[in-house]
Amino acid sequence: MTVTIKDVAKAAGVAVGTVSRVLAKNKTVSEEIRIRVEEVIRELGYTPNSLGRNLRLNKTDLIGLVIPDITNPFFAELAKHVEMLASAEGYSVLLANSHDDPAAEQQQVQTLLGRLPSGLILVPVSESRIGDLVSGRNTVTVDRPLKGQTLVGVDNRRGGYLAADYLLSLGHRRLGYMGGPQMLDVARERYEGFLSRIQAFQQRHPGQSLAVQTVDGNFDYKAGEELGNRLLRQEHPPTAIATASDQQAIGLMRAAADVGLSIPDDLSIVGFDDIPLASLVLPRLTTIRQPLAEIARIALDAILNRPSATTECKLEPVLVERSSTRAWSAR
């Protein structure tokens, strides 16, 4: 039998209201009684039943988190930060994977909303049709936008721009770009940012030769390897490649090794995200860092403080220089 607030009250010789006040850290409780109640609570191993509390208050301390795939290190990192911050505030997180499938996403969101969470943190899939479902439901989207919802993420155009800028400054003139799924805004924005820097260069240096090849596909390791092979197995492969994710970059490293290219001597690589693994691969990966801890903090803040306005928060990405990139001089 589980122990309820009533049992505590009886054991401590007080009324349930008093116990409730102790739990709520209400100051209008005498020191003496507070101590006694707290002692009894510990003795009986009492845990407040959140169902009762939630029903009474008509709200839960649950945060829904819907992401494409928890095994993606980027989302795992996001989930970790969200969970840490949430539990520090007394909230628990309901995790659901959408597997980048609109139908699955709709199902997951619907189920989670039925559990009356205080808020929903969402990384929407493309072609998401959940706009109606979440409208007016205290939702924040992260990483990817959803019409009418607050978005917290990084300035992806700026990130793509930084990658191109860096590779150009290193002297590379045969560039490759490995994009994410072009149906995703994030993927397109990163690519556009990359291109915009390229075009600016071409306008300033009309004479110089500058070649850019582009491929795109999923964000994961496997896509990185496959797309890498497409990019590298040709007559004049790029001397530097920027990718739309670190996972792609790591897959690309694999492909480069299979082709016999050494990094960074024959090929420079710039990733995107700065997942934990980026600083451990061989060689350590230069990448565009997303301030994920801050993204999580802002997202949760928006959820818990319920800011009425639908805003858009674009954080600044940062280039992290490591060992997968190197200056290039014409050979």
Partner DNA sequence: CTGTTAGCGCGTTCAT
Partner DNA sequence: ATGAACGCGCTAACAG
Report the interface residues with DNA, using CB under 7 A: 2, 4-6, 13-18, 20-21, 23-24, 28-30, 32-33, 48-49, 51-53, 55-58
Binding partner of 21, given its own copies, DNA, none, CB within 5-8 angstroms per partner class: DNA
d(CA 316, CA 161): 12
Closest to DNA by CB, 56 vs 204, is 56
Binding partner of 262, given DNA, its own copies, none, CB within 5-8 angstroms per partner class: none
Structure tokens at 18: 């008093």
**CA dihedral of residues 58, 62, 64, 70 (deg, nearest 10):** -170
CB atoms within 10 A of CB 275: 25
d(CA 264, CA 209): 22
Which residue bears the tokens 């309820």?
4
Q: What is the number of alpha carbons within 13 Å of residue 245 lying toward its C-beta?
A: 25
CB 281, min distance to DNA, A: 48
Using the 8-state DSSP alphabet, how is residue 174 labeled? E
Q: Which long-range contacts (CB under 8 A, 24 or more apart) does 83-90 make?
A: 85/296, 85/297, 85/300, 86/300, 89/300, 89/304, 90/61
Binding partner of 17, given DNA, its own copies, none, CB within 5-8 angstroms per partner class: DNA
Omega of the bond leading into 73 within 30 degrees of 0 (cis): no
Structure tokens at 252: 């690309």
CB 104, min distance to DNA, A: 22
Closest to its own copies by CB, 69 vs 301, is 69
Binding partner of 30, given DNA, its own copies, none, CB within 5-8 angstroms per partner class: DNA
Closest to its own copies by CB, 161 vs 221, is 221
Closest to DNA by CB, 20 vs 126, is 20
- Residues near its own copies (CB under 8 A) are 45, 47-52, 54-55, 58, 60, 62, 65, 69-71, 73, 76-77, 79-80, 83-84, 87, 90, 92-97, 107-108, 110-116, 132-133, 221-222, 225, 250-251, 253-254, 257, 276-277, 280-282
Binding partner of 108, given its own copies, DNA, none, CB within 5-8 angstroms per partner class: its own copies
Binding partner of 87, given its own copies, DNA, none, CB within 5-8 angstroms per partner class: its own copies
Label residue 126 left, alpha or beta by phi (over 0 means left) and psi (-120 to 50 means alpha): beta
